[in-house]
Structure 1
């Protein structure tokens, strides 16, 4: 090869996205509340590293069962911190790899603009037929919603009006479609840069429920995948943490 041509080829390689010479795919299980930010993160991840993140969204409890039954996921972004910890303890995840990538915020939300102003007063007035919550047994946002109702002394009063979503995505659909007039959803589903962008809502104070710490963990199937390790590192980058915060999440 002519020296000048070889030099041009070397420069092209240097200008390619980092890691694209060894580009790989990573199978990622993502809690449904984190759908919008993770879609943006995945696009940036591929642009910046050359690796591709293949995303599946759902309830953390169901992902746990699938992972224990051999599902090919390599990274889990959970809606809680207990599921990743449990997978570590059961040798289904790499010990020491997990960290809190986001702290979730809960909001009482309606698609009707200006309707939800004083959340506790509205819940006590009972001017609605159905209140949507995620399944508290499998979805941390559902557990936080139930804890909020208990904090307000309304858990028993409103029990007969609750409609339960399998996960927070289905819970949001119940409210957005009008099948429930109100619902406890993730702030990230209805807000950007800390402001509710659609409908109206009451952001639940963080001391009304246990903090929704959302942990990511490298699963055993991904321990030798460079794309899985790269994604774990990428999620901890300052610019990605800023992006996560812009969707209404807190950070540790």
Structure 2
């Protein structure tokens, strides 16, 4: 009888050990948390797909939003591994504040802005260009919030360059980020808007609207930069992903979505 109880006890202990091993074993795939500016959504989705095909041991978890909001979150130690901003200002601030090492800061793309109207709009951008903003038919103009989104700030600079801003500022509808700005136009909450060129290169907009490139000498160059957070638990994997984005595959995708290779900044 004692032998039977001893056998049962040993079996129970062995089962507990197996259960503990299962619960504490490391997952096969490392999850890298990425904070990315909203203008990157389509390009980054393609980058994510190819990167994960080549690196099946690393899974990307990407969140999109305004660079300003991400800066606030990262300053409060939000749990991200790597940050892709829509400008250089916010990553530089994180370097200055000690959240990103200087060696882990990197420029990765340079963007452009365009005017965009949805399919069926009576507005003719090809003929009027930015002067279309003065058309009486234009009641609402969507841009990203210039306090949070670099593409919104570029939109304001262009309007000021053409001496239009004071005449149209009361018509502005501000999106929290550039993706929400696009939604305002698509949903007819705005008649026209200023978007990142990368967002109109995708079929769902390229085939359902028209755009006009705003001359790049009318606004500050939009150099986009990023950085690896010092608090990242996976710095090696984050650097590996950075090198992929900066390498031939990543740069080819970014170029195809309307970005250009930036100068070091």
Question: TM bucket by the smaller chain?
Answer: 0.7 to 0.9
Aligned to 2:55: 49
How far has the Cα of 1:115 moved from its partner? 3.1
Picking from 102, 105, 114, the partner of 2:109 is: 102
What CA distance in whole angstroms lies between the structure 2 residues aligned with 1:206 and 1:74?
A: 32
Aligned residue runs from structure 1 range 78-157, under 5 A: 78-112=85-119, 115-117=124-126, 118-157=128-167
Contact 2:37 2:65 in 1 (8 A): yes
Aligned residues: 231
Answering whether residue 254 of structure 2 is matched by residue 244 of structure 1, we say: yes
> Residue 82 of structure 2 contacts residue 229 of structure 2 at CA under 8 Å; is this kept in 1?
yes
Determine which structure has more spread, i.e. the larger CA radius of gyration: 2
CA deviation after TM superposition for structure 1 residue 23, in Å: 4.5
Bigger mean CA deviation after superposition, 29-38 or 225-234: 225-234
How do 1:201-212 and structure 2 match up within 5 A?
A: 201-212=211-222
* Kept after mapping to 1: 8 A contact 2:184/2:190: yes
2:194 to 184, 203, 216: 184
Alpha-carbon contact 2:32-2:234 (below 8 Å) kept? no
Q: Secondary structure at the match of 1:76?
A: strand
Query: How far apart in 2 are the matches of 1:73 and 1:158?
Result: 38
Query: 2:73 is matched with which residue?
Result: 66
Structure 1 gap ranges (5+): 1-20
Contact 2:85 2:225 in 1 (8 A): yes
Deviations 1:31-68 (A, max 9, x none): 00100111111111111112111100001111011111
Q: Is residue 35 of structure 2 the alignment partner of residue 29 of structure 1?
A: yes
Deviation at 1:139, TM superposition (A): 0.5
Question: What's the counterpart of residue 241 of structure 2?
Answer: 231
Structure 1 position 179, deviation (Å): 0.6
Is structure 2 residue 185 aligned with structure 1 residue 175? yes
The alignment's C-alpha RMSD in Å is 1.9
Matched residues in 1 for 2:178 and 2:245: separation?
22
Deviation at 1:251, TM superposition (A): 1.3
TM-score (norm 2): 0.82
TM-score (norm 1): 0.86
Q: Which runs of 5+ in 2 are unaligned?
A: 1-26
2:44 paired residue number:
38
In structure 2, how many angstroms separate the alpha carbons of the residues matched to 1:164 and 1:92?
29
Find the partner of 1:217 among 227, 237, 247. 227
Separation of aligned partners in 1, 2:217 and 2:148: 21
Q: Which has the higher helix share?
A: 2
